[in-house]
Amino acid sequence: MYIDKELCKSCHKCIPVCPVGAIQAVDKEVHIDYEMCVECAVCLRLGICPEGAIKQVDEIPYPRILRAAFSDPMHRHESTEVLGRGTEEMKTNDVKNEFRRGEIGFSIELGRPVLGAYLRDLDKVTRKVTSMGVTFAEYNPVLALMKDRKTGELKPEVLNERVLSAIAEFAVPEDRALDLLDEIVDFIEDELETVATISMISRADDQGNIELLEKLRERGYNPYPNGKVNIGMALIT
């Protein structure tokens, strides 16, 4: 994203709409900080500029295009054809069965509005959880960023790209899930430079009970149950 200086009247209406604070005024002149911008296109889609001074280049080059892929909800990932930050697994599990009974699914989301995240932080997470023997969800676009799936290492050219958020999704056997959670929490607190949200995906039993919730409370966690439903998907028999 950039601001056309010939059109901009420095009204400053665009400054508060940027979710990562990349639109700034310096000496009364408004500009978009190239490094901070995550190419989410919020400022452009809102049509906030009365002069039409906010613009996008005709083609965002690689690897910067990854910023849009993980930040712009209207951008489609080439590897998965999924829009936005990147994955549908939690919302479509009853159809795709990505996380099976006897397994606990995990998602670790880095970033979010205001702070965002560099993919070098994602690299730390994917390396860590790979060393712990997890199985990544095959439809997770994070896999397309990997240089080596055996180590979880991301491609070196993507590490300095900044995104609104990125989500790593994987599964582990149920009997390992809580110990793995403890280790991941400690790792995130010690190693990451951004915020992180950890979600655990578990199927309810036939009575609608979720045993995992009670086990989490016994470990001292305060889980927030959240049902996920992707309207429009159905099994055809």
Q: pLDDT by residue (tens digit) across 37-72?
A: 999 999 999 999 999 999 999 999 999 999 999 998
Does the residue 65 lie in any domain?
no
225: in domain:
no
Q: Can you say whether the dihedral through the CA atoms of 197, 203, 221, 188 is positive or negative?
A: negative
Q: What's the pLDDT score for residue 178?
A: 97
- The reported pLDDT for the residue numbered 62 is 94
| Any domain includes 103 | yes
Does 50 lie in the same domain as 144?
no
- Decide if pLDDT at 138 tops 90: no
Same domain assignment for residues 16 and 107:
no
Q: Which is higher by pLDDT, 115 or 150?
A: 150
pLDDT band for position 230 (cuts 50, 70, 90): low
- 218 pLDDT exceeds 70? yes
Q: What is the CATH number of the domain that holds 7?
A: 3.30.70.20
User: pTM value?
Assistant: 0.88
Question: What pLDDT, on a 0 to 100 scale, did the predictor assign at position 85?
Answer: 61
In this structure, are 49 and 108 located in the same domain? no
Peptide bond into 63 cis (omega under 30): yes
User: Are 161 and 44 members of one domain?
Assistant: no
- Same domain? 48 vs 82: no
Number of separate domains in the chain: 2
Say yes or no: 41 and 90 in one domain. Answer: no
Residue 93 has a pLDDT of: 61
Query: What confidence score (pLDDT) does residue 210 get?
Result: 86
Answer yes or no: do 8 and 108 share one domain: no
| Percent of the chain whose predicted confidence (pLDDT) is above 90 | 68
Is residue 176 one of the residues assigned to a domain? yes
Domain of residue 89, residue span? 73-218
Low-confidence winner among 22-36, 80-94, 97-111, 180-194 (lowest mean pLDDT): 80-94
